[in-house]
Amino acid sequence: MIASEQKAQRTDVDKLALLRELEKKVLWLASWTIHHANHLRENVDGVKVGGHQASSASLATIMTALYFDVLRPQDRVAVKPHASPIFHAIQYLFGRQTADKLKAFRGYKGAQSYPSRTKDVDDVDFSTGSVGLGVAQTLFSSLVQDYVRAHGWGLDRPQGRMIALVGDAELDEGNIFEAILEGWKQGVRNCWWIIDYNRQSLDAVIREGLWARYEGLFRGFGWDVVILKYGSLLQAAFAEPGGARLREWIDHCPNQLYSALVFQGGAAWRKRLLDDIGDQGEVTRIIEARSDAELARLMTNLAGHDLPSLLDVFGAVDHDRPTCFICYTIKGFGLPFAGHKDNHAGLMTPTQMEALRSAMNVRPGYEWDKFEGLALRADDIQAFLDRVPFVGRSHDRPRGAYIEVPGQLTVSIPPTISTQAGFGSLLNELAKDKSELADRLVTTSPDVTVSTNLGPWVNRRGLFARQAMADTFKSERIASTFAWEFSPKGQHIELGIAEMNLFILLSALGLSHAHNGERLLPIGTLYDPFIARGLDALNYACYQEARFILVATPSGITLAPEGGAHQSIGTPMIGIAQDGLAAFEPAYLDELSVVLAWALDYIQKDAESGMSERNWLRDGTGGSVYLRLSTRPIEQPRRDMTSELREAIIDGAYWFRRPGPNAEVIIAYTGALAPEAIEAVGLMAEDRRDVGLLAVTSADRLNAGWMAASRARDQGLVHARSHIERLLAEVPPHCGIVTVLDGHPATLAWLGAVHGHRVRSLGVEHFGQTGSIPDLYRHYGIDTNAIIAAAQAIAPGRPIRHLKALG
Ligand SMILES: Cc1ncc(C[n+]2csc(CCOP(=O)(O)OP(=O)(O)O)c2C)c(N)n1
Ligand SMILES: [Mg+2]
């Protein structure tokens, strides 16, 4: 053997020895962190917070191999929610997590139970917690990386692999299958899914033979599949005389029995093996040559806990094909409840923890010490840690350069138009524009591109695909309104009909600045009722501060011709309640134009800003934006867009008609019901004095500002006033408010609580009635008559003459 070979071999051995020590340390720290949170923290209130020691331990070896050897700084990882303590322990060893945060695990401002991009300090790539979402997002993030590079951006950075550490039960989530199908259509690559095949979920041991279903599934969609079943010890034993028999036994061992034996340990293994195959020749020697402890070690040596096997397999990948690794593991490996089917929320008792402490050579008082109890020298370990490729990742997250947004967007306003059609015109104008802004826009839609009015934009900017594809209808000269041409420069990503995929893709696009250092301005369109289909993915996108604009159209019962099944009632309430999402429902195109320009700037903001004095909103912090639009063409006002009006539209409301000093009633409306509200005010004028008309463009922002200003006053800032408080201060105390929108009435009902006015709230509470717009408005009581009737009820006085009998 020549000298350099000897040296290389020695370094390999050294690396393995180091990794083995680190694996132990990671398991110790993660277990101790959870134990500390449950048993030792001073302020624990008697409620066990769990922490999933078993679920974490399952991934300790795989994550050791990845983070200390395989990963490169540009790789991005979605960590299975319950492996959070392992992730934090690894980051702690890298010096990127603090002992204080670990000590406060699951506590106030402590390390998070599930890895969080926004709440954790140790550079989490994807927030996980709702199982299945982080997994799918890695697939879409690899697509986004391709999109960015195909557009010529970020080519000076190395390409990363998008990796998901997947719990085997996560694969029960339907969104994973939707993503795999979409990934196949889009030609996904640079994506690894590493399945922690511990054959346990939360409740139980999973079905036999699932791995074979997974294998077939992934292969069917063009993935490479690598099955890591047996570790190096077992493989060596299989090579011994009689080894084939042992292998046959273990290959046929049911999951339940295997788990039970793992839990019971060496003596149980011996008894069972001797009972089953002890009389079958040479295999007996394999069993008898080992002590109970050695036998247990052998029989639990699955590849997912075997560093040499993992390093070999991960290190051998030399292509960018999507790859699924099915890694056999044991839930709770290395801990006393390993394999027990009830171990999901199991916690080690103080006695068990003491046993682990002594096995790990950790002295009391040195539990958080990075190098305590390790067999190698601290200096050597530290030197190794300093050389780990992954630590080359910068401490600062990339942010992507800000893309300039003009104060005003170009659009010509016809006398009558719907907000949905207006949105199409705005994007069509942007598509014509030779600007950085237009180039950074990327649109996406789950098979409703044309019906949500993105057609003209797509005609101009094309669809994205890594390989160009012509529109055959065009080349065959068949007349069509829409060109459907794919190219690497295209700016629309067409998805199949899966709203989950839409939101997860928006989440990936909306984090491009942080993942690729290149900012994209994503706009996704869908039908408003189907927000509910992807709501959890939307919530997670917002939770991890992805930035995008969601345009939901059509909405409400105003989509009457589409039929009852597509109505949306609750979405305005989602707009109010969803954290990280500013919701608007403009009535007119000039309002929409103002809101869209604002939104394109707002989604790029990320300052640690306080509240603005004007509206008591944290506009400097930014967020995503939801626009609830309508297909109903309505007559447009002719007016100058003054800066005062623009500001009020963004803040959430303005007086379309100011109430006079003697007003008895005002009407507050949102969105497509503007014509009914205006008509009602006109018809009441003879019988009620000074009726005011409040146009509400964003119930969400009005409400948020009001809540924030109230809190500020509670804390002593006596002059804090929100936008809605200032507007309603003009309304005399005895005056009533009628609110109306095409959505749930509770959306605006709170307006009465601002200054204590009486309120009658009109809206839609029931679902599914078909009919024309007048039929439905009458049926649900949101037409002009209903508004007038409500005004009469809340502001009694002489009968309003135009009030017809309500049908
Ligand atoms: C969408 C969603 N539903 C339910 C849960 C609750 N839950 C957390 S972990 C888990 C089972 C996970 O099993 P697996 O993915 O196999 O991981 P393991 O615990 O085996 O490591 C469940 C049902 C969740 N976190 N998210
Ligand atoms: Mg599992």
Ligand 1 atom closest to Cα of 131? 26
Choose one of 202, 302, 344 to mutate for the ligand 1 pocket test, by most ligand atoms within 8 angstroms of C-beta. 202
pTM greater than 0.85: yes
Place of tokens 């036998």: 295
Choose one of 200, 201, 214, 327 to mutate for the ligand 1 pocket test, by most ligand atoms within 8 angstroms of C-beta. 201
pLDDT band at residue 8 under the 50/70/90 scheme: very low
Examine the pLDDT at 319 and tell me if it is beyond 90: yes
Q: How far is the CA of 45 from the centre of ligand 1 (A)?
A: 25
Q: How far is the CA of 130 from the centre of ligand 2 (A)?
A: 15
pLDDT of residue 473: 84
Examine the pLDDT at 607 and tell me if it is beyond 90: no
β-pairing, 441-446 with 463-464?
unpaired
Mean pLDDT score, 169-173: 95
Residues belonging to the chain: 807
pLDDT band at residue 225 under the 50/70/90 scheme: very high
Mean pLDDT score, 28-47: 83
Asked if 444 and 494 touch (Cβ cutoff 8 Å), the reply is yes
Residue 782, amino acid:
I
Q: How far is the CA of 330 from the centre of ligand 2 (A)?
A: 9
**Ligand closest to CA 81:** 1
CA dist 119 and 436 (Å) reads 32
Residue with CA at minimum distance from ligand 1 atom 9 = 202
Q: Which residues pair with 167 in a beta bridge?
A: 196
Task: Return all residues near 424 (Cβ < 8 A) that are at least 6 apart.
Answer: 453, 454, 455, 456, 457
Closest CA to 113 of 126, 129, 97, 98: 129
Mean pLDDT over the full length of the chain:
94
Task: Give the residue, 616 or 94, on which the prediction is more confident.
Answer: 94
Peptide bond connecting 561 to the previous residue in cis, omega within 30 degrees of 0: no
Residue with CA at minimum distance from ligand 1 atom 13 = 201
Q: How far is the CA of 131 from the centre of ligand 1 (A)?
A: 6
Give the gyration radius of the chain's Cα atoms. Answer: 31
pLDDT band at residue 669 under the 50/70/90 scheme: very high
pLDDT of residue 401: 94
Examine the pLDDT at 9 and tell me if it is beyond 60: no
Choose one of 131, 255, 536 to mutate for the ligand 1 pocket test, by most ligand atoms within 8 angstroms of C-beta. 131
What residues does the ion ligand 2 have nearby, CB within 5 Å? 167-169, 198, 200
Task: Return all residues near 251 (Cβ < 8 A) that are at least 6 apart.
Answer: none
Asked if 767 and 567 touch (Cβ cutoff 8 Å), the reply is yes
pLDDT of residue 4: 47
pLDDT of residue 42: 67
Ligand 1 atom closest to Cα of 198? 20
Examine the pLDDT at 807 and tell me if it is beyond 50: no
Lowest mean pLDDT among 40-44, 96-100, 519-523, 556-560: 40-44
Task: Return all residues near 527 (Cβ < 8 A) that are at least 6 apart.
Answer: 448, 451, 452, 552, 553, 554, 566, 568
Mean pLDDT score, 536-554: 97
Asked if 179 and 136 touch (Cβ cutoff 8 Å), the reply is yes
Asked if 264 and 300 touch (Cβ cutoff 8 Å), the reply is no
Examine the pLDDT at 85 and tell me if it is beyond 90: yes
CA dist 67 and 329 (Å) reads 18
Place of tokens 């290389």: 8
**Ligand closest to CA 342:** 1
Task: Give the residue, 47 or 314, on which the prediction is more confident.
Answer: 314
Residue with CA at minimum distance from ligand 1 atom 21 = 55
Closest CA to 338 of 31, 562, 729: 31
Residue with CA at minimum distance from ligand 1 atom 25 = 130
pLDDT of residue 10: 53
Ligand 1 atom closest to Cα of 171? 15
Examine the pLDDT at 742 and tell me if it is beyond 50: yes
Residue with CA at minimum distance from ligand 1 atom 10 = 202
pLDDT band at residue 804 under the 50/70/90 scheme: low
* Ligand 1 pocket, residues with Cβ under 6 angstroms: 55, 58, 81-82, 129-131, 167-170, 196, 198, 200-202, 331, 344
Q: Model confidence over 444-469: pLDDT tens digits? A: 999 999 889 999 999 999 999 999 88
Examine the pLDDT at 229 and tell me if it is beyond 70: yes
pLDDT band at residue 190 under the 50/70/90 scheme: very high
> What phi and psi, each to the nearest 5 degrees, are found at residue 207?
-60, 155
Q: Model confidence over 276-311: pLDDT tens digits? A: 998 888 999 999 999 999 999 999 999 999 999 999
Helix (H) or strand (E) holding 785: helix 784-794
Q: Model confidence over 457-506: pLDDT tens digits? A: 999 999 999 998 888 888 888 888 888 899 999 999 999 999 999 999 99
Q: How far is the CA of 68 from the centre of ligand 2 (A)?
A: 23
Q: How far is the CA of 169 from the centre of ligand 2 (A)?
A: 5
**Ligand closest to CA 79:** 1
pLDDT of residue 40: 80
Q: Please give, one letter per residue, the 3-state secondary structure of 257-289.
A: HHHHHHHHCHHHHHHHHHHHHCCCCCHHHHHHC
Ligand 1 atom closest to Cα of 167? 15
Q: Model confidence over 262-276: pLDDT tens digits? A: 999 999 999 999 999
